[in-house]
Amino acid sequence: MTTSSRADRGGWAGDAHSDDTSLLDRATSTAVRRRSLRLLGELLRPRWRPLAWAGALIVVGTLGQVAGPLLVQAGVDSALPALRDGDPGPLVAVGGTYLVAAVLGGVCAGAYVRAAARVAQSVLLELRRRVFRHTQRLSLEFHESYTSGRVISRQTSDLEALRELFDGGLTGVVSSLMLMLFTGVALFVVDWRSGLVLVGALVPAWWLTRWFQRRSQLLYREQRTASARLIVKFVETMTGMRAVQAFRREPAVDAAYSVLGEEYRDANLRIFGVNGRYQPGLVLIGNVTVAAALAYGGWRVYDGGLELGALVAVLLYVKRFFQPIQQLGMFYNALQSAVAALEKVSGLLAEEPTVVEPRHPTPLPRARGEVRLDDVTFGYGRGPVVLPALDLTIPAGQTVALVGSTGAGKSTLAKLVTRFYDAREGRVLLDGVDVRDLSSADLRRAVVMVTQEAYLFSGTVRENIALGRPEATDAEVEAAARAVGVHDFVQSLSQGYDTEVNKRGGRVSSGQRQLISFARAFLADPAVLVLDEATSSLDLPGERLVQRGLQTLLADRTALIIAHRLSTVEIADRVLVMEHGTVVEDGTPGELVARRGRFAALHRAWQDSLV
C-alpha cells in the first residue's frame, strides 16, 4: 500500500499512525487535505440553502459597512458645498443614507451570525454522530490497535477545535474576506491611484502571511499531536489506575505526564511566538500604507488632483482594509487548529471495518451450534501467523475447555469463532455455514462471547442483564438471574433489579459481576457460548457459586471456554490443549489425565494448588 492511499484510508494500520506525526510528506499531506475537503463537502452540500441565505446576508451586511466612507466623501465634496450655497437637501440625504446603510449593515451582520451558527451547529452535530457511529461500526482489529485515548481525543478535543472555528472563526473569516474585497473595490472606485498604493502594500503582507501560514500549519499539527498524546496518557493512566497504584508507578507516570504536558505547553508557546511576529508585522505594514496614502493623497489634494472628501474616504478605506487582515490572522489560528482536527477526524471516518457484513447473507434463524474450523490460518494484520492450518470440529451441545500456555492462541481462536476477526485462509463454519455469510444479527444471536472483564454499563442491574434482549420481560430477567444463581444477591441490593450499578449501593464484586454477565448470556440464549473465564481467583463459596451458575449456563449449548480453573475443566466434555496455535492434545479430561502429557501436568499443578 502506498503512503498516500494509506493516508487516504486513515492510516492507522501498521506501526506509523499518520495522525501521530506532524511531518507528513507532500503526497500524504495532499491526500489528507483532499480527504478532509471531501468530508467538509459531504457535510455542507445538503445545507446549501441555509448557506446561501447566510451568504446573501453577509453580502448585504458588508455593503452596508463599506458604503460609509463613500458617503463621507459625498458629504464632504458635494453636500457641504451645497449647504454653503444654502441647500441643506444633499446633506440630509447623505446623512439619512448613512444611517440606513449602517442600520442595514448591522442588522444583516447580526442575522448572518445567527444563520451561520445554525449551519455550523448542525454540521457539528452530524460529525459528532458520525464519529460515534463509525467508531462503533469498526471492527475489533481497529479498536485493538487505535488506542481508546486517541478515539476519545477525536470525539473531544478535535471536535472542540472544529466547534471553535465554526462558532467564532469561520463567520469572522468570511465576513473579513468579504469586507476586504468590497473595501478594495470601493477604494479603486474612489481613487484608483491610491488603490495601487494598497496593491503595493499587499506584496509584503502576502509574503508575511505565507510565512505565517507555513510555520503555523506545522506548529498546529504539532500542537494537536501533543494534545492527543496528553489525553492518551491520561486515559491510559486512569483506566489502568489499579495497576499504576499496585506497582507504585505514580512517580513514573507523573514524570511521563509532566513531560507530555511540557511538550504541549511548548507547542502552544511556539504558536504564540509565530503569532507574536505576524500580528505586529501586519500592523506595521497597515500603518506604513496609511502614511503612504496620506502623503501621496495630500500632495495631490494640494495639487488639485484629488478632492478632500475623496482623500478622507481613501484613508478610511486603507485603514479598514488592514483591520480584517489582522482579524484573519487570528482566525487563521482557529482555522489551522480545525484543519488539523478535521484531517484526523476524516482519517477516522475513512477507516473501513475489516470484518464486513455479507451482501447476501445466508439466513440462520435457529442455529444448532455446530462449530467447525476448516484449515484455518490466521495472523493479526500483516503480522506473523498465530494459528497455522487449524482443523477443529465441535459438535452441537459440546462443552470444550481450551487450555494452554499464555500466547498459545486461545483468545485468538475465540475471536475467530465469534467473528471479531476473519481467517486469513480457510473457513469458520457454524452449522455448516461460513460465518462470513451470516448476517451480523444472526451471528450475534447464535454466538455470544462472555469476556473476562464482564463489563457492566451504567444503568440498572435489570438493564445490564437484558443487554442482549432489551425487550425481555421482568420475569424473564429474573428467571435468568435465578438460573445462574445471582437472584438472591440482586434482591439484597438497595433497589433490587432497579439498583444502578457502578454507583453507591450498586457496587458489585468481581464474582457477582461475572454472575450478572452469565445471566446476561443466559437471557440472550445463544446456541454457542464463547467464554473467557476470569483469571482472578474467587474465594471458595464464590467459586462454587460461579461454577454452579456456569453449569446452568452451559447446559444444552455449545461452549468454548478459555479455562483458567480446574473446576471448569472438570465439567467440560472435552479439553483442547493449545501450543503455538496448534491443538496438541484433544480428549475428555479423564483421557488426557491418563495420557500423562501436558494436560496431566497442568492438572496435577492445579490440584496441588488446591491443597
Binding site for ligand ATP (CB under 6 A): 144, 380, 383, 386, 404, 406-412
Q: How far is the CB of 562 from ligand ATP (least distance, A)?
A: 6
Rounded Cα gap, residues 326 and 286, in angstroms:
10
Q: How far is the CB of 10 from ligand ATP (least distance, A)?
A: 18
Rounded Cα gap, residues 598 and 584, in angstroms:
9
Query: What is the identity of the amino acid at 56?
Result: A
Q: How far is the CB of 407 from ligand ATP (least distance, A)?
A: 4
Give yes or no for a contact between 401 and 346, defined as CB atoms under 8 angstroms apart. Answer: no
Q: How far is the CB of 405 from ligand ATP (least distance, A)?
A: 7
Pick the closer one to ligand ATP by CB: 211 or 380: 380
Pick the closer one to ligand ATP by CB: 350 or 576: 576
Q: How far is the CB of 421 from ligand ATP (least distance, A)?
A: 9
Nearest to 519 by CA among 571, 590, 448: 448
Task: Put the strands of the sheet holding 574-579 in their side by side order.
Answer: 447-450, 528-532, 558-562, 399-404, 574-579, 582-587
CA dihedral 327, 333, 338, 339 (to 10 degrees): 100
Rounded Cα gap, residues 588 and 599, in angstroms:
11
Residues in the chain: 611
Q: How far is the CB of 146 from ligand ATP (least distance, A)?
A: 11
Pick the closer one to ligand ATP by CB: 159 or 394: 394
Pick the closer one to ligand ATP by CB: 376 or 386: 386
| Torsion over CA: 202, 205, 209, 215 (sign) | positive
Pick the closer one to ligand ATP by CB: 405 or 494: 405
Q: How far is the CB of 4 from ligand ATP (least distance, A)?
A: 25
Characterize the bridge pairing of strands 425-430 and 433-434. antiparallel
Q: How far is the CB of 383 from ligand ATP (least distance, A)?
A: 5
Task: Give the containing element (helix H, strand E) for 582.
Answer: strand 582-587
| Torsion over CA: 134, 135, 141, 145 (sign) | positive
Pick the closer one to ligand ATP by CB: 410 or 557: 410
Query: What is the identity of the amino acid at 573?
Result: D
Pick the closer one to ligand ATP by CB: 229 or 410: 410
Q: How far is the CB of 246 from ligand ATP (least distance, A)?
A: 19
Q: Give me the numbers of helices (H) and strands (E) for the chain, helices first please.
A: 23, 12
Which grid cell sits at 115? Answer: 444563520
Give yes or no for a contact between 347 and 224, defined as CB atoms under 8 angstroms apart. Answer: no
Pick the closer one to ligand ATP by CB: 336 or 411: 411
| Torsion over CA: 124, 238, 148, 27 (sign) | positive
Pick the closer one to ligand ATP by CB: 18 or 411: 411
CA dihedral 563, 564, 565, 569 (to 10 degrees): 20
Q: How far is the CB of 393 from ligand ATP (least distance, A)?
A: 20
Pick the closer one to ligand ATP by CB: 29 or 510: 510
Rounded Cα gap, residues 197 and 181, in angstroms:
16
Three-state DSSP at 428 gives strand
Pick the closer one to ligand ATP by CB: 492 or 535: 535
Q: How far is the CB of 149 from ligand ATP (least distance, A)?
A: 17
Ramachandran sector of residue 362 (left: φ over 0; alpha: ψ -120 to 50; beta: rest): beta
**Residue 479, burial from CB neighbour count under 10 angstroms (0-12, 13-18, 19+):** middle
Which grid cell sits at 246? Answer: 499496585
Rounded Cα gap, residues 428 and 436, in angstroms:
8
